[in-house]
Structure 1
Amino acid sequence: MSNPSSSWVAQFNPGDRVEISPRDVGFRGSWYAGTVVRREAKNTNRYVVEYDQLYADESGEKLLQETLDSIQLRLPPPEKKKVQFKFEDEVEAFYSDGWWEGAIIAEHSGGKFAVFLRGFEEQIVFEEKDLRLPVQWVKGKWEPRFEQVQREKENSNFSKEVMKFTQGMQVEVLTDEDGLKGAWFAATIIEPSGEDKYLIEYKTLRNDDDTEFLREVIRACNIRPCPPEIIVVDGFKVWDAVDAYYNEGLWVGVIAKVLINSNYEVNFIEYDEKTTFNQADLRPHQDWLNGKWVVP
């Protein structure tokens, strides 16, 4: 690749390995591996590129080629360093043959992480090998994002901030129990229980003999404060991200269809399941990121 021009438009050569950002609806925020085929003769800022893993038709015999602006291309980022991912990290996750922007919303056992993918408006569990920290393509070169620089400073000082919870605090808890993964449950903090862990009591889940509410020790990274209430005046729209009260917990879904009498069909994409809810059992989805509630 040659040096960027004075207007900072990146220049590529045939055969350059690149990452490609499609502008089609449903692909924004993603990057796919590909190769530069040639530069357009009439517009030197446009290139014909060929994807590595996207195909021109359903037969899968011919790789897709597109003509795109140079701003939709970038060199592959530097080989990723070994990273200890943590709750609230901004990441790129390899999903559906491309890299997608998201944020870690929970840590699971076995080196797995629950990531909220903004492009899909859903939560998916990934292995560490399928995640990378995002870097910025600025004026023809790679630069670490501000939060990554801050993270490296924190790591060099062996520090790691974890939100502290107090006895009696009302919270929501993410569980690893089979059949309940991905759901958040209302709970109360009973007391600290070791480093960055808390004994909590669920408000809706009961013990096996149904004599009292279930208590468990939960890692702090799987606990969050209760979100602020958002009043929905005009109802939800198709594609709105919501939390649905279902099976005693809150599950992330997307409005698939607006029905009559304030009812909605909600698609739980991770489970490929659709269920009908009344508006009273739905709330706008919010993400707990960097110590703040964020509406995606």
Structure 2
Amino acid sequence: MADPNAYFKKGALVEISSDEPDFRGAWFLGTVISRSRAKQKNQVFVQYHTLMSDHDETKFLREKVDVIQLRPPAPREMGRAFSLGEEVDAYHLDGWWEGVITRISGQDSAGGARYSVYFRGTREELDFGADELRLHREWVRGEWVPPFEFMSNTNVEEPSKNAVEKLGEETFAEVANSITNVEEPCIDIVENFGKGTLGGVASDNANEESCIGIGEKFRKGAFVEITSDEDGFQGAWFAATMLEKLSSDEYMVEYQSLTNDDGTELLKEKANIKHIRPFPPETAVADYYSLLQEVDALYNDGWWVGVISKVLQGKKYLIYFRGTNEEMEFNHSDLRPHQDWIDGKWVMAPKVARL
């Protein structure tokens, strides 16, 4: 059996639990910054996406936690209806809290059901909409219990490498016609990032204004991803934190996984707004990925977009990278569904690419 802790490497998106009495049963979204070495090999340094530092409220909280306090982001079935007595996680106070549904009431303003959730730890009962709930699951030895059925694995004929390369020849218009919006696509970095459901995805009533002027809304401490035009780095995105605005289109950032030349501290550099995007919103964690699916692969401390060219045994995959014409093998834990930030919205390619 694969090491269940192999997922928690630098740059991995995670959920973090706390040992503090007031926070037991809650999970908060974050990112692994680094793993401790030597004697503290089971400890991990993380940065939260929704909790701010007590010492500086403009910066997200960073702390060292035991690896046992981490798990991948729990999957969600979007648009799911819930039943009386069902155990769920409810998004409340910037995190996901375990509870049980005690009552199903009338419809909300959007026409959906309202659910009353009882929290055993605090003995509170609060009301939530379906978009604020997910089925409660436990992360046990590297597997979700109960399991999450992401998609059915149909028998697809394995394509030749030339067939995969043809994906890169599609026009942008053809790709744009095939992509679908993520359920909650609009992120307003200042007002919503780190405060709403799924670590800051804008609510359903977000208006068009919150999707424009993104360059003016990257505040100090915002968690983002940075790309580069330098040779050898095209197509890669690296996690970073906004430090300060230098001009109308230039910012100073601090990378979360890249260090300076002597490795003594995290790398800081200037970045143009065209190379900056918000950190991608949480998506359901796939039980497996499919042939020809577009994914991001974690490699050399960054996320690189590629296409699955072959599904191997043991949750391993061959990924083809168009930019370098290379094919490399990756573990399931080193992949995430590919998303693009286009015109202030997150869009996701179809789960299985069509030729």
TM-score (norm 1): 0.47
Task: Report the structure number with the largest CA radius of gyration.
Answer: 1
Higher relative contact order (CA 8 A, sep 6+): 2
More strand by share: 1
